Amino acid sequence: MKFNLLDFLLPRETKFFDFFIEQADILIEAANIFKNLSINISKFEESEIKIEVNRIKEMEIKGDIVESKIIKELNQTFITPFDREDIHHMAITIDKSLDILTSLSNKIEIYGIKNLPKNVINFSNLIVTISQDLRKLIDEFKKKSNIDYILNNMHNLENKADYLFYLSVGELFKQVTDPIEIIKLKEVYEYLEKIVDKIDSVGKIVRRILIKQG
């Protein structure tokens, strides 16, 4: 980013970046819990599944607390590092990613799904990776580093998720005969694709911010 005289004369509050990093760390932890759940669900007892789902719910609660802190600080901060609307949009988008992951975990438990296709595990790996990229993005954005390569990585992961979604649904209709199972698993794939898409949306927000700042 180019030198901004206003930033030098009136230093902008950077604590929002720390809040975003906190949000990303919570998302990464939740994504790793979900990955472990998706890998081991066939071996888990119902009580063990409930424990993992509750751990993800706990992450969602932590995420809600951080989102609330961001909104509170927005109301109390005079000079922000970028537009207030963009800060708010980033906060709620990161939090929404976590909300969708929590909803998916709840559905897997409620639906009593005990066997998840391999592509669910592949999706869980994508979610962990793009969550880690989000964390790197925020850290580099705070330092005003060149972040194009991270944005491109995130977009590529979103494209991979799109392809994996269509591949997975195609395999689902070919390999599963029980219509109820098809409905359940198709919904699982839809949620997985939404999570990756929502996380990539944060990258798109950052790209728009960079364009605004010139």
What pLDDT was estimated at residue 12?
52
Looking at the structure, give the CATH architecture of the domain made up of residues 14-213: Up-down Bundle (1.20)
Quick one: three-class SS letters along the chain?
CCCCHHHHHCCCCCHHHHHHHHHHHHHHHHHHHHHHHHHHCCCCCHHHHHHHHHHHHHHHHHHHHHHHHHHHHHHHCCCCCCCHHHHHHHHHHHHHHHHHHHHHHHHHHHCCCCCCCHHHHHHHHHHHHHHHHHHHHHHHHHCCCCCHHHHHHHHHHHHHHHHHHHHHHHHHHHHCCCHHHHHHHHHHHHHHHHHHHHHHHHHHHHHHHHHHHC
pLDDT tens digits for the chain (214 residues)? 444 444 443 345 578 999 999 999 999 999 999 999 999 999 999 999 999 999 999 999 999 999 999 999 888 877 788 888 999 999 999 999 999 999 999 999 999 999 999 999 999 999 999 999 999 999 999 888 889 999 999 999 999 999 999 999 999 999 999 999 999 999 999 999 999 999 999 999 999 998 887 6
The answer to whether the CB of 49 falls within 8 A of the CB of 109 is: yes
Delimit the domains of the chain by residue range. 14-213
Distance CA 141, CA 148 (A): 10
What pLDDT was estimated at residue 5?
42
What's the pTM? Answer: 0.92
What pLDDT was estimated at residue 13?
59
